[in-house]
Amino acid sequence: MLWVALSAFSASIWLPSIPLRLAAAVMVALGLVDAWRQVRLEHQRSRLGEAALSLSEEGVIITDAANRIQAVNPAFTRITGYPLEIETDLVNLASAVVPHGGDQLSRFFKLPVNNEGFFVESHAKLGPSEFAMDGVFLCGLAHYPKPIDESVAQGKAAASRAITLLAKEKILSSGEVAEVHPGLCVSCGTCVAVCPYSAPQFLEEGPNAGKAYINPALCKGCGLCMASCRSSAISLRGFEEQQVYSMLKALA
């Protein structure tokens, strides 16, 4: 109708008689009214369609041999009168991915997890496949839902990091580690609870059985256990009280 109105408008200029010009003017008016009605209807359908999609969570996806995908939303179809059709070459149905059995593992190794229950790496850029604890690595869906190619790439990164440890005959650790004085330890277990690296543990045998012991291979020297010990039974090598006092006196 709009094209007819445009043709009538151009014809009204050179038509000789007044009746023909009036008829052309009527056609132009009808075309403009029809165009305004079409625009208003499409705007209303779009608005109602958005409202329907926001209210309805149910949907159906139908495929055929020609790879034509018809995504149908019942409320959208009922209100607008036509379905939403999308032509595509590939459709991925993303099912919900939830972590499985990670709570016990995270408690055993003291590994951090996010609110959804997936493991959290030590650093997103510098250590995407590592944890703060040495010897434990991360890859695949244990990290977060990801495609196959990204899982394979992260798996290769985790394997390469593990090889760097297995290829060494000796592994050197820092000398700034915490140590426990058994005579002062009261076996309260505070150091075991607060350490993020699982370095402190209780001795099960020997003359100091039941006392805390810190594994120097796991200790990172953060000093958290020393600051939390209520009986001052833990000291940090290189940062003992007399050494700290000597530093303060030198600065004074």
Residue 213 falls within a domain, yes or no? Answer: yes
Residue 92 falls within a domain, yes or no? Answer: no
Clarify whether residues 11 and 67 are in a common domain: yes
Residue 142 falls within a domain, yes or no? Answer: yes
Our count of domains for the chain comes to: 3
- Are 70 and 85 a contacting pair, CB within 8 Å? yes
Q: Provide the strand spans (E) within 39-177.
A: 60-62, 68-72, 84-87
Residue 197 falls within a domain, yes or no? Answer: yes
Clarify whether residues 140 and 73 are in a common domain: no
pLDDT at 73: 57
Residue 173 falls within a domain, yes or no? Answer: no
pLDDT at 89: 66
Separation between Cα atoms, residue 83 and residue 87, nearest integer Å:
13
The gap from C-alpha 180 to its chain's centroid, in whole angstroms, comes to 40
Residue 9 falls within a domain, yes or no? Answer: yes
Would you give per-residue pLDDT tens digits along the chain (252 residues)? 544 444 544 555 555 555 655 565 666 666 667 777 777 777 776 666 565 555 445 554 554 555 555 555 566 666 666 666 656 666 666 677 888 777 788 877 778 888 888 888 888 888 888 887 778 898 988 888 888 899 999 999 999 988 988 888 887 777 788 889 888 888 888 888 888 888 888 988 888 888 888 888 888 888 888 888 888 888 888 777 787 788 888 887
Domain that holds residue 46: 2-87
Q: Cβ-count burial of 57 within 10 angstroms (0-12 exposed, 13-18 middle, 19+ buried)?
A: exposed
Clarify whether residues 133 and 75 are in a common domain: no
What tens digit of pLDDT does each residue of 79-107 get? 666 666 656 666 666 677 888 777 788 87
pTM for this one?
0.48
Measuring CA to CA, which residue among 83, 170, 161 is closest to residue 128? 161
Residue 46 falls within a domain, yes or no? Answer: yes
Residue 34 falls within a domain, yes or no? Answer: yes
Clarify whether residues 151 and 189 are in a common domain: no
Separation between Cα atoms, residue 60 and residue 74, nearest integer Å:
8
